[in-house]
Amino acid sequence: MTFNGWMQIALFCAIVLALARPLGGFLTRVYAGERTFLHPVLAPVERGFYLLAGVRCEAEQGWRSYAVAMLAFNLLGFLLVYGALRLQGALPLNPQGFAGVTPDLALNTAVSFVTNTNWQSYGGEATMSYGSQMWALTVQNFLSAATGMALAVALIRGFARRSAKEIGNFWTDLTRSILYVLLPLCVVLALVYVAMGVPQTLQPYVTAKTLEGADQTIALGPVASQLAIKMLGTNGGGFFNANSAHPFENPSALANLVQMVSIFAVGAALTNVFGRMVGDERQGWAILGAMGALFLAGVAMVYWAEAGANPIHAALGLDPAGGNMEGKEVRFGIALSALFAVITTAASCGAVIAMHDSFSAIGGMIPMVNMQLGEVIVGGVGAGLYGVLLFAIVAVFVAGLMVGRTPEYVGKKIEGREVKLTMLALLCSPAATLLALGVASVSPLGLAGLQESGPHGFSEMLYATTSAAANNGSAFAGLTANSPFWNVLLAAGMMIGRFALIVPMLAVAGSLAAKGKVPPSAGTFPTYGTLFVGLLGGVILIVGGLTYFPALTLGPVADAFATAAGTTY
Amino acid sequence: MLIHFRPALILLLLFTIVTGVVYPLAITGVAQVALPAQANGSMIEQDGRIVGSSLIGQSFASPRYFHGRPSAAGQNGYDASSSSGSNLGPTSKALAERIKSDVEKAKAENGLSGPVPADLVTASGSGLDPGVSPASAHAQISRVARERSLPEADVRALVDHSIQPRLLGLIGEPRVNVLALNMALDAMK
């Protein structure tokens, strides 16, 4: 670990913190329907959309109606992506002449992009036409991100309102997320990325004659426009197979800094939106504080693990001072690769700038743990906030048990119904992960996809089922997941991890909205101090982490001992 | 469910047009007019033909050239239509064997006695890494100078001149673009 490495990490954290409050203020205005500097241009567009779609923006929905609208929208989105991928061969903007995508891969990919997972069983430049990347995948990058943001705002309204039946209007929350937040930012970011060297073209691939006289076919495409939303919407699905390790998808350390900040920007700002909407910004900072503590602990562990050389390789004559460079790019080095791996798994992004499968055992375990904690360390846009608020409910419940009082959170009494629904939401993802892992471990079809044998092979499966159910999308990519078995298994994991969490979460929102506000009293546990930050962090680690401890022991922990002992498989 | 069908369908179609067609095409239009070199892949032309992209690494096997890192992209490495890392894990026997043979090769062809710089014998994440560390470039100076019958000091000066430092001395890692270095080397004679 170097001083420079830590300074780069500090710079990233400072930028994210500096952006949280101004962006949070802007988001709060957008979701309240107040005017912003973008309204003179975009308000007519917004009204036009509502007119065509038959949406009355002042008509709000109860939680059931909100949930059904969200599910209907996602179902249609899924069908559109599935159809577009199957028919790829007959659709335009396909200069490489790629055929239609196979049924199981189209199913997996459609579920993956609709659920904001962006797990990719395919290599982009060898499978997807420019057209598919645009109207199938880029669109869902916007829509799944906007869905997450809308849901987070709906849950915040549950806390903020008193004695209300409604939690907002899904159509307006969705439309505003895209028109006022995601799209304008992406237009700016996409052009910034082009200026830094990211291609944006519809021309076919170019064949170069190298200095040594060989032919090199160079894949191109409309990369920058997809890259911008891939990061900002914490989607993470790469245009190219190598994702943001590819020099065209991440040409320089400066482009990388912009990408890292975009992953966290909206998620961090939403904690501030929470604080503003419940009338006490300290509540938002406390949540961001708990996230920040867990984040820095993760960064320190991965950086430490990757900066040290693998003793097996050092013994062969590789200079240990360089750290573990297998699967990493020289322009990013150890510190940024470690930082990015933690960011992308803390948020539910899943983009990578280095191959996690080639990380050291511990360096690869922390990204898994981040996902297993429910991706609540900043988390996916919207998904991170509603996830952490569920943990906050558990935290005040635990605190209430300790002192024997009915727990309260931001003025709402937390009672049996909310706690049961919260636990239901929090347990569906671990259940999906571990059941899928169990099925794959005893199935020849599951084991057929493994690249590695020994504990690392188990880690490849654990990473895959974790990533799917947590809606992350990064992989230990040695696993060959493009088989009917893995495509269907992981699609099921992604569906459960997304929607089986969202529906009970919205029920919590509806239940909270209907309650009155309890004024704080001498017995109220303050949820903005360091005690609450520590309690929330502890609950996340215990509930999220212990569930997976046996599986982690068989995979990365055993792998770490094997590395230390010099055993290879 | 049915009352939600119309807004769901219409908004899906509208957003598909806006974010899936208008947005990428508008960015493409602006990029092609304002930043054509970058938008088309930062290609390098020499004598009227494209020799590669300044951002994409390519394979160098001849001892007369500086070599990049091992590559797992495509069958023979540096296949820029099939980016990939090796994805081999920390306890992989295949990885240990590959590193062993690459270390032996690097030591033999460059006459190195000590340990080999890590990036020179490890595959990058993309398989298309355009750079190597300054240490990896320095390790190859005497071989390239000998093969080209150039004074070692001249080659060393060229390498040192080619090192791209951290941005503002802070962001990223120092590196050498192997294609640019080799083109400068060809221009030297």
Q: Quick one: pLDDT band at residue B1, thresholds 50, 70, 90?
A: low
Task: Map tokens 């969202």 to a residue.
Answer: A502
**CB-CB under 8 Å, B91 with A563:** yes
Strand, helix or coil for residue A279: coil
Residue range B4-57, pLDDT digits in tens = 999 999 999 999 999 999 999 999 999 999 999 999 999 999 989 999 999 999
pLDDT of residue A97: 93
Query: What residue in B sits closest to A175 (Cα-Cα)?
Result: B11
Rounded to a whole number of angstroms, the distance from the CA of B153 to the nearest CA of chain A is 24
Distance from CA of B61 to the nearest CA of A (A): 8
**Binary contact (B20, A138; C-beta < 8 A):** yes
Same domain, B64 and B10: no
Contact B39 A201 (CB under 8 A): yes
Structure token pair of residue B113: 């006695």
Residues of chain B positioned with their CB less than 8 A from the CB of A321: 118
> Is B103 found in the same domain as B72?
yes
Closest partner residue to B172 among A134, A138, A332, by Cβ?
Answer: A332
Partners of A331 on chain B (C-beta within 8 Å) are 129, 131, 172-173, 175
State how far residue B152 is from chain A, nearest Cα, in angstroms. 22
Tell me how close the Cα of B141 comes to any Cα of chain A, in angstroms.
18
Best B19, B49, B75, B133 member to test A by mutation, with max A CBs in 10 Å, is B19
Question: Which phi-psi region, left, alpha or beta, contains residue A36 (left: φ > 0; alpha: ψ -120 to 50)?
Answer: beta
Q: Which residues in chain A have Cβ-Cβ distances shorter than 8 Å to B36?
A: none
Please tell me whether residues B35 and B100 are part of one structural domain.
Answer: no
User: Vertex B174, ends B172 and B175: CA angle to 5°?
Assistant: 115
Distance from CA of A59 to the nearest CA of B (A): 13
φ/ψ (deg, to 5) at A466: -65, -50
Shared-domain flag, residues B20 and B69: no
* Residue the block writes with tokens 């700002």: A269
Calculate the dihedral angle through the C-alpha atoms of A524, A168, A270, A356, rounding to the nearest 10 degrees: 110
Query: In degrees to the nearest 10, what's the CA dihedral of A125, A130, A134, A135?
Result: -120
* Backbone φ and ψ of A18, nearest 5°: -65, -30
Q: Hey, where are the domains in chain A? A: 20-207+215-279
Q: Cβ distance A113 to A230 under 8 Å? A: no
Q: Which residue of A has its CA nearest to B123?
A: A326
* Closest-CA distance of chain B to residue A516, Å: 30
Chain A residues lying within 8 Å of B81, measured CB to CB: 125-126, 205, 217-219
Give the whole-angstrom CA distance, residue B90 versus residue B96.
9
Chain A residues lying within 8 Å of B15, measured CB to CB: 139, 142-143, 178
pLDDT, position A386: 95
Please tell me the distance from the alpha carbon of residue A387 to that of residue A376, in angstroms, as a whole number. 6
Judge if B25 and B113 occupy the same domain.
Answer: no
Instruction: Output the CA–CA distances (angstroms, integers) from residue A551 to A179, A395, A438, A481, in the order listed.
Output: 43, 25, 10, 20
Q: Transcribe A496-547 into DSSP letters.
A: HHHHHHHHHHHHHHHHHHTSPPPPP-TTPPPTTSHHHHHHHHHHIIIIIIHT
Query: Which of B126, B176, B188 is the best mutation test for A, with the most CBs of A within 10 A?
Result: B126
**B7 with A55: Cβ contact below 8 A:** yes
* CA distance between the termini of chain B: 75
Q: Are B12 and B60 members of one domain?
A: no
Closest Cα in chain B, distance from residue A370 (Å): 20
Asked if residue B105 and residue B61 are part of one domain, the reply reads: yes
| B21 and B100 assigned to the same domain | no
Q: Is residue B81 part of a domain?
A: yes
Determine the residue of chain A that is closest to B68 in CA distance: A330
Q: Positive or negative CA dihedral for A136, A139, A142, A143? A: negative
Same structural domain, B75 and B30: no
Query: What pLDDT, on a 0 to 100 scale, did the predictor assign at position A525?
Result: 87
Q: How far apart are CA A501 and CA A431, in angstroms?
A: 12
- CA B180: distance to chain centroid? 11
Show residues of chain B in contact with A144, CB under 8 Å: none
Query: Taking CB atoms and an 8 Å limit, are B1 and A72 in contact across chains?
Result: yes
Position B20 in a domain: yes
* Encoded amino acid at A455, one letter: P
**B99–A210 CB contact, under 8 Å:** no
pLDDT of B77 over the 90 cut: yes
Contact A326 B117 (CB under 8 A): no
Whether residues B176 and B104 fall in one domain: yes
Q: Classify the phi-psi angles of A60: left when phi > 0, otherwise alpha if psi is within -120 to 50, otherwise beta.
A: beta
Interface probe, candidates A318, A324, A451, A557, chain B, greatest B C-beta count within 10 A: A318
By CA distance, what is A354's nearest residue in B? Answer: B125
B151 and B176 inside one domain: yes
Contact A206 B130 (CB under 8 A): no
Contact B19 A183 (CB under 8 A): yes
Asked if the Cβ–Cβ distance from B122 to A327 is below 8 Å, we say yes
User: Per-block average pLDDT, block size 10, for chain A (569 residues)?
Assistant: 95 97 97 94 96 91 96 97 96 94 96 95 91 94 97 96 95 97 98 98 95 96 96 94 97 97 96 96 95 96 96 95 96 97 95 97 96 93 95 94 89 94 94 96 94 93 96 93 96 95 96 93 87 94 88 96 95
CB B69 within 8 A of CB B119: yes
Residue B1 within a domain? no
- pLDDT band at residue B189, thresholds of 50, 70 and 90? low
Angle at which helices A139-160 and B5-17 cross, to 10°: 130
For B134, nearest residue in chain A (alpha carbons): A330
- Tell me which of B2, B5, B11, B56 to substitute to probe the interface with A (most A C-beta atoms closer than 10 Å): B11
- Cβ contacts below 8 Å, chain A against chain B, sum to 388
Q: Are B118 and A562 within 8 A, CB to CB? A: no
In this complex, the residue of B53, B93, B130 whose CB is nearest that of residue A568 is: B93
Q: What is the pLDDT of residue A405?
A: 85
What's the domain range around B23?
6-40
Cα(A366)–Cα(A362) distance, rounded to whole angstroms?
Answer: 6
pLDDT at residue B2 tops 80: no
| Residue A128 neighbours by CB distance under 10 Å | 25
Give the ipTM. Answer: 0.96
B32 and B63 fall within a common domain:
no
B7 contacts A123? CB cut-off 8 A: no
For residue B154, the distance in angstroms to the closest alpha carbon of chain A comes to 21
| Sole residue written with tokens 């930043």 | B35
Q: Give the DSSP per-residue string, A322-377.
A: G---TT--TTTHHHHHHHHHHHHHHTT----SS-GGGS-HHHHHHHHHHHHTTSTT
The pLDDT score that the predictor gives to residue A184 is 97
Q: Considering chain B, what percentage of its residues have pLDDT values greater than 70? A: 99
Q: Which of B19, B89, B127 sits opposite A138 (nearest CB)?
A: B19
Count the domains in chain B.
Answer: 2
Minimal Cα–Cα distance from A415 to chain B, Å? Answer: 30
Count of Cβ atoms closer than 10 Å to residue A64 Cβ: 12
Nearest-CA distance A283 → chain B (Å): 33
